[in-house]
């Protein structure tokens, strides 16, 4: 039959060539062209019908084998990927307010301490001597004032003597309070509960307000700080989902944006974000690098593997779908619109619907119109 059709087409073409010398007008040639195209299309349709019938009757024909899956609506997510650094609010270096010699270190590195616990005692012998001396002077000043007050109440003595005694007592009281404050500053106290990470000086060393004595850390709650380019301002909000991966410790945490900076850094056109993290096991340390995936696009729709999407000569994206026709499985080229792509998956906004069957394995070995044997994934 194929030979008959081919011979018919050749006969038509030969006849047209013979008649061409007899026809000269453009109109006649166009009419002849339309007749030939119509005849060729008719013969092609007949050929396709015959091939379909042959494929049904010929049990020896082996159709290409493909696998397929049925499309379901699913959630597609796209993330931006950046790096951040772990920070801790309770991570401080404690410095003395007054200089002095380290007299006694009462804790060890790695020790847990409570808020208000004494960590290091600086030498305060001179201050204690001053306190003792002031207490003696204050006792005398109080006695003198009390006597002058009794005499003044009895209208004995001068007002000036009473006022002088009062001023002397109050001045010594103020001096004593001030020097007691200095004495308290010779004690290095833990401002919050945490772990003593580093003790810098040794017993007998001289310290001053410019040098740290103890690093105190509380890692129960830490946060990651990251810079995000300003182009993402419209999509990054407080509460946005974030997946944090810490490759150094092989740990992944899911959290959300807790704070967004209100200042654009002119040097790199970015703004800061903060992501709070619970850290009960203390495994996440300050200055640890984190890989962040911040959600910037989420939709419920058609999601398929990106490796199934092909492009034709015009650059249009398409996939092969399967339809049931005349008892067989026919391949159809289906044009699609890819709206977004992430991690080997694409979101298809147009061209596919739920329950469509799409070719998976074998998609590169077939073409539109092929009859195939289908194996479901």
Whether 302 has a pLDDT exceeding 80, the answer reads: yes
Least confident residue range of 18-27, 178-187, 247-256? 18-27
Residues 6+ apart with CB under 8 A from 265: 227, 271, 272
Each residue of 247-276: pLDDT tens digit? 999 999 999 999 999 999 999 999 999 999
Average pLDDT, the chain: 85
Per-residue CA distances from 28 to 66, 148, 256 (Å):
49, 141, 75
Short-list 281, 376, 267, 269, CA closest to 329: 376
176 touches 91 (CB < 8 A): no
Residue 363 binned pLDDT confidence (cut-offs 50, 70, 90): low
Boundaries of every domain in the chain: 2-57, 65-75+300-376, 80-90+218-297, 124-185
Average the pLDDT over 348-360 and give the result. Answer: 89
Short-list 256, 295, 293, 286, CA closest to 85: 286
The CATH architecture of the domain made up of 65-75+300-376 is: Beta Barrel (2.40)
310 touches 363 (CB < 8 A): yes
> What was the pLDDT predicted at 30?
83
Distance of CA 151 to the CA centre of its chain: 79
Residue 329 binned pLDDT confidence (cut-offs 50, 70, 90): confident
- Rounded Cα gap, residues 242 and 170, in angstroms: 61
Whether 91 has a pLDDT exceeding 50, the answer reads: yes
The CA angle 212-217-223, to the nearest 5 degrees, is 125
Whether 132 has a pLDDT exceeding 80, the answer reads: yes
Whether 23 has a pLDDT exceeding 50, the answer reads: no
328 touches 58 (CB < 8 A): no
80-90+218-297 fold: Elongation Factor Tu (Ef-tu); domain 3 (2.40.30)
Whether 1 has a pLDDT exceeding 50, the answer reads: no
Q: What is the 3-state secondary structure (H, E, C) of 209-272?
A: CCCCCEEEECCCEEEEEEEEEHHHCCCCCCCCEEEEEECCCCEEEEEECCEECCCCECCCCEEE
Short-list 258, 250, 32, CA closest to 40: 32
């Amino acid at each position: 039959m194929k030979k008959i059709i081919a011979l018919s087409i050749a006969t038509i073409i030969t006849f047209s060539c013979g008649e061409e010398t007899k026809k000269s007008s453009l109109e006649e040639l166009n009419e002849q062209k339309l007749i030939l195209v119509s005849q060729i299309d008719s013969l092609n349709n007949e050929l396709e019908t015959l091939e379909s019938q042959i494929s049904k009757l010929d049990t020896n024909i082996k159709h290409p084998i493909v696998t397929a899956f049925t499309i379901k609506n699913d959630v597609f997510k796209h993330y931006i990927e950046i790096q951040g650094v772990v920070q801790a609010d309770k991570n401080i270096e404690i410095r003395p307010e007054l200089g002095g010699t380290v007299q006694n270190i009462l804790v060890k590195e790695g020790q847990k301490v409570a808020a208000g616990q004494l960590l290091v005692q600086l030498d305060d012998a001179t201050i204690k001597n001053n306190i003792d001396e002031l207490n003696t002077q204050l006792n005398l000043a109080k006695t003198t004032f009390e006597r002058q007050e009794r005499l003044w109440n009895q209208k004995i003595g001068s007002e000036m003597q009473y006022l002088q005694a009062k001023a002397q007592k109050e001045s010594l009281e103020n001096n004593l309070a001030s020097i007691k404050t200095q004495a308290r500053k010779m004690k290095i106290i833990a401002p919050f509960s945490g772990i003593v990470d580093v003790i810098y000086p040794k017993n007998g060393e001289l310290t001053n307000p410019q040098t740290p004595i103890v690093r105190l850390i509380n890692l129960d709650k830490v946060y990651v700080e990251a810079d995000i380019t300003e182009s993402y301002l419209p999509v990054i909000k407080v509460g946005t989902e974030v997946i944090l991966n810490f490759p150094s410790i092989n740990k992944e945490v899911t959290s959300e944006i807790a704070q967004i900076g209100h200042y654009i850094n002119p040097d790199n056109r970015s703004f800061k974000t903060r992501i709070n993290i619970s850290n009960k096991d203390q495994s996440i340390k300050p200055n640890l690098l984190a890989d962040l995936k911040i959600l910037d696009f989420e939709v419920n729709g058609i999601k398929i593997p990106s490796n199934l999407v092909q492009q034709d000569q015009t650059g249009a994206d398409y996939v092969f779908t399967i339809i049931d026709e005349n008892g067989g499985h026919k391949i159809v080229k289906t044009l699609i619109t890819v709206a977004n792509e992430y991690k080997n998956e694409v979101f298809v906004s147009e061209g596919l619907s739920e329950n469509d069957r799409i070719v998976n394995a074998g998609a590169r070995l077939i073409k539109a119109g092929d009859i195939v044997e289908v194996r479901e994934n």
